[in-house]
Structure 1
């Protein structure tokens, strides 16, 4: 038995589930508790239990590769992830040693703009201004940040060779190092609570602007094929965004295994869109759920047939960025 199978079996036994009950329980594989995807899965699962009687539980794993492996090997039914990471998992490229052919897209959930931010007092205003300055690198405990920062730098017209690379292990440490002055910039998603914390501790932060045009779009899609640009406007929760700005963006997607039945997929999709207001009240970023934009085409990945039937039954056509 592989380590991940042993872990999953132990988790079920620890929950005291009899074999008959195990067959009825569905699980969401996520990163550790406190992560965005764990929070989102917890909210969605809670609503599915409440409004539809679904027996959905959240099962945290050590990182993206483990949670995708759980779905691919039928140890979990659902997960949430950056669609670019799903694409690389299916391919067996990037941080994935072998292909995971059993992953299926269920729905686009919400856009996720990301950027590099700095202290307001730094005087830096654009990513291009980081030339010769320090940028967090390494990311051994959060490798998904590497391609994201690569794309942000490219959208600013520079690359890793143009900056001073300072190793950081993961997101929270990277922001703490920027606050302390160890590194000039930090990487985070727009609206992240950590950004607000740093803003309060250093007297103000700002996200750095990028050049969002056809040339830089081509460059960021060389890094990850489903990156795109989106405009973000100021709002109290969007600390560091003082004016309308363009950001490198990915889509969070709901993922299912090929082993999951069409009925199970359609039941969860029904909860997502019929209970959108309740889900969004529990976690406001999920108010971005939109039936009309949830069936989006992505390169290199398939939709689950249950999802295809769900959207077709509701007259929703597939969209794309093109």
Structure 2
């Protein structure tokens, strides 16, 4: 199923199903071509097919759509574990303005990120980024600066060591890379945009991340929620040509406190029961564990979600 058909399906409930909300639930995501967008489109489609009318609503970045969820203007959002913690605590991009109406709805799956280069680039490791033109800044996704800095820290490379190509978000960074304005670009593995750039420039590959204990410790000193895992080449992982270590952290589904408990509970149950359909819509859901959708990351959970997880035996 294509993303275009996912979006069309996401706005409609299956014939005969009774929507649980008078208006479609809005799911905030990053822009088209990102993994976050693909996640949201898949979730919206599966929810809609099970009587929970939902529609994906892309934006320039999490810094833009999380305040809308907090204000009750959007219902759900796709973010990473770092972003939801910062938003609710009022830190970093949300300094002085904590978003107190955000709640956790579900842990989705490990999110793999990295820096890719052209196939013919002489760069072979993260250490080689020093002195190179690398996408950075991410004014609409400011948390990603820390993520990239943590990744580079595995080889003791800092933001001062690279030639910063300032971009508002990862999509613009990938475009600048394709246009020849950057030597390396930060992006999520498994994203449609990476495949697009791969075709445009004649091939890209991700730089491996060291799994050395000291390297991982340097990374986690900046982003404690991150970890390094080994991945194998796969059809949906453009730029991964051999087994390699990659930086990972969890992506989650968040929800506004304004969304009724019964709607959130039903949504959580639908996701729990439909991993196969989610995976058909977006292959990365194959790494989702339906029995580990609840985890304590220091952020309040929505009461409706808690009710579902207690019934499943995942939460006390």
Q: Give TM-score scaled by structure 2 length.
A: 0.83
Which structure 1 segments of 5+ residues have no match? 1-20
Which stretch of structure 1 is more off in the superposition, 94-103 or 222-231? 222-231
For residues 174 and 242 of structure 2, the distance between their equivalents in structure 1, rounded to whole angstroms, comes to 22
Is 1:90 aligned with 2:88? yes
Q: Cα–Cα, structure 1 residues 116 and 58, in superposed 2: closer, same or farther, change >3 Å?
A: closer
In structure 2, the partner of 1:218 is 217
Greater mean alpha carbon deviation, residues 54-63 or residues 265-274: 54-63
1:278 corresponding residue in structure 2: 277
User: How many aligned residue pairs are there?
Assistant: 296
Residue matched to 2:294: 295
8 Å contact kept, 2:112–2:246: yes
Structure 1 window deviating more from structure 2 (175-184 vs 70-79): it is: 175-184
Tell me how far apart the structure 1 counterparts of residues 87 and 109 of structure 2 sit (CA, whole Å).
Answer: 20
Which segments of 5 or more consecutive residues in structure 2 lack a partner in the other structure? 1-18
Paired position in structure 2 for 1:63? 61
**Number of the residue aligned with 1:118:** 117
Write the distance in 1 (CA, Å) between the matches of 2:113 and 2:152. Answer: 12
Q: Structure 1 residues 58 and 218 mapped into 2: Cα distance closer, same or farther (>3 Å)?
A: same
Output one character per residue of 1:260-288: Cα deviation in whole Å (capped at 9) or x when no partner: 33322210011112222222212222233
Relative to 1, partners in 2 of residues 1:174 and 1:62: Cα closer, same or farther, differing over 3 Å? closer
Report how far residue 317 of structure 1 moved.
5.8
SS at structure 1 position matched to 2:109: strand
Where 1:111 maps in the other structure, the secondary structure is: strand
- Tell me the TM-score normalised to structure 1 length: 0.82
Q: Which moved more, 1:124-133 or 1:308-317?
A: 308-317
The whole-number CA distance in structure 2 between the counterparts of 1:66 and 1:259 is 19
Once the two structures are superposed, the pairs formed by residues 201-216 of structure 1 within 5 Å of their partners are: 201-216=200-215
Return the alpha-carbon distance in structure 2 between the equivalents of residues 197 and 46 of structure 1.
23
Q: Tell me, in whole angstroms, the C-alpha distance in 2 between the residues paired with 1:48 and 1:138.
A: 35
Q: Conserved in 1, the CA contact under 8 Å of 2:40 and 2:56?
A: yes
Structure 1 residue 103 displacement after superposition: 1.3
Shift of 1:141: 4.2
Shift of the alpha carbon at 1:32?
A: 5.6
1:251 aligns with 2:257: no
Q: SS of 1:122's equivalent?
A: coil
Query: Would the aligned equivalents of 2:210 and 2:216 in 1 still touch at CA under 8 Å?
Result: no
What RMSD over aligned residues (CA atoms) do the two structures have, in Å? Answer: 2.5
Question: In the TM superposition, what is the alpha-carbon distance from 1:195 to its structure 2 partner?
Answer: 2.2
Question: What is residue 74 of structure 1 aligned with on the other side?
Answer: 72
